[in-house]
Structure 1
C-alpha cells in the first residue's frame, strides 16, 4: 500500500478547521502553563462576576482580561490604524495595562488621596497580573471602587480621542467613588437598616391611563453608613421605562423625611422634564396621606 498523508488530530484522518482550532487552543494552554491555572482562572472570573458593579463595568473588565479592548496597540496589529502611540501621553504604545495603569494620566488618578491603591507600584506586565493582584489584596468595597475607576479611565480615554474632552484626576476618582456607593446602595435590601420603621401601603403596579405617565418613588435608609438612597421610575401605560433616577443622599432625621425627599425629588423631576400628566405612586403611608389630604400637618416632620 502506498504511503499517504493523513491528519492525525481527527478521528477520520481528514483535516477540518474545527480540529485545527482545538489543536491550536491546546498548544496555547500548554504554553501558558496549567499548574493549577484552572482553579486560578475559576477564582478570577468568579469574583469578577460577583462584583456589585454594573454589568457594563464587568463586561469592560472581561474584555480587558481577555485582551480585546480596542486599544491603539490592538488596532495597529490588526492594521486598522498606522500609529500605536498612546493618545493621552504621546510617549509609549497604548496597551491595556498602559492606558489603565502605567500612563502618566492614569498614574495621576491612582495617586489621588481617596484611591485604594495610592501607594502601589507600576511593575505589572499585563492587565491580568494587575487584576489578580487587586483581587487578592483588596476587600470587596475597595475592589468595587477600583473597578469603577478603571472603567472611568477607559471612558475618559474615549472622550479624549473622539470628543477632545478631558476629565481631571480628582473629578474622575470622586465620580467613581460616588458610582460605587450608589450601586452598592441599590443592591442592598430596601429598608433593611431603617432608623425607624415606617408604615407602608402594599401596592401592585397598575398601568396609568394611556395619556398619563406613572412615577414610582421610593427611598431606603442605611443608618450604619449614614446614607439615603432615592429611586424614581417613570413608565407609560405599556410599562415601558422612560426615566430612571437613582441618587444617594446624606442621612436624614428618619425614614419619613427620606420618603418625603424622594417624593419632592420626583415632583421636581416632572417639572424639569415638563411632565404634567403624571400619577405619583409611593409606599410610605404618611407621605401618601400628607399629599392626598389637604389638612395642615402638625407633626415634627411637617
Structure 2
C-alpha cells in the first residue's frame, strides 16, 4: 500500500501525532490529505488516538491483535520460505489426526526423517549396512520402507485403486506425506483418509520391526491382510470415539426464540453493531437508543474508515455510549452482537493492544456517574442496529446523529415493539 503521494516537507517531519489530532473531532485530515494516500487516510479515520492519557509510546508487534510478540506469528512470517512439510498448518493436521498419540508421534518422526531405518542407522555410524531387511540390496530409507518396498507396495495396491496407484507411488517423500496426511476427502477410504493413511504406515512399520527384532515374517498376503484389517479396526474405533468426544465437548444448544425486548421502567436500551466489507476494508457502525416503551430516543450512523470487524464493533459501542451520555441517560443497558468486543471491554488489556486507546476511552466513559449494563444479544435481537451499521457503509465519512428513524426502518421497529421473535439454536444456559 502506498503511504505518501509526494515528499513530506522537512518542517513537518518533526511534528508529533498530537499535532494532527483534535480532541473533539479526531484527525486533522485536511493537514494530511496532500501527502497521504486515500488508503492511508481511510485507515487513519478508524484509528483512535487519545493524547489526554499521557501514556508513553509503546512498541507493538503488528501481527497480533493484542500487540504482544508471539513466536507463532513470527514463524508465520518466515513460513513461506520453509518446506511444505515444515509449515504450521501441516503440523496442526498431524496433531489433529484421529489416531492414538503414539501414531501421531510416529508420523512426526517420519516427516522429520527420525525413524531408525537402516539408512538412518548407517548415517549415525550404528551399522555399515543400510539395505532393506525385506528386499535386500536397496537402501532402507523411510519412503522405501513405508511405500516403495515390494512388501509395502502389496499393501497399498489393496487399498488404492489401479487408476490412482501410479500417481500415489510417484511423488517425492515430502509431497507424498503432506498430500496424504492432510487429505480427508479422498475416495480411497470412506472415513478420514489422513488418519487411515497414518495407521497403515504405523502397522507397516510395526511389521517391519517384528521381522527385524523378532524374526516374525508374514507372507506378503498375510502382511497385507494384517495391516489393512488392523488399520481399519483402529480407524473405525478412533473416528467413533472422536465423534463422541466432539459431541460431549460442545456446549449444549437448544432452539430459542430471539427478539428485541424493551428495558424495565426507568431504563434505556442502546443497541449497537458494526459492519465490515472484508478484512481491512470499509467499516461502519450504527446504533439506536430506546426507552422502556420502545420509543426512539436517538440513533446514529457512523462511516468510520478502513479496518476490521472488531474495530467497527468497538467504535459503535463508543459512539453509542457518547450519544447516550449526551442525552443525560442515567440507567442504560448496552446490547451488542459482538461477544468479543464486550469481553475486551470487561477484561484488562495491555497498553500495546492494537485497540488500547479505543478500549481505554470506552472504559473511562463507562466509569462516569451512571449505571451501564453490558449484555450480549444475537443478531435477531439487534436488527435495527444491524440495519443502521450496514447502511452506514454508503454514507459520507463521519458521525451522523438521527433524531428520527429512517423510513425504511419502520417495519423492523414495529416488529420489535410487537415482540416478533425468530428461532435460533442458542447455547443452553446453566
- Between Structure 1 and Structure 2, whose CA radius of gyration is higher? 2
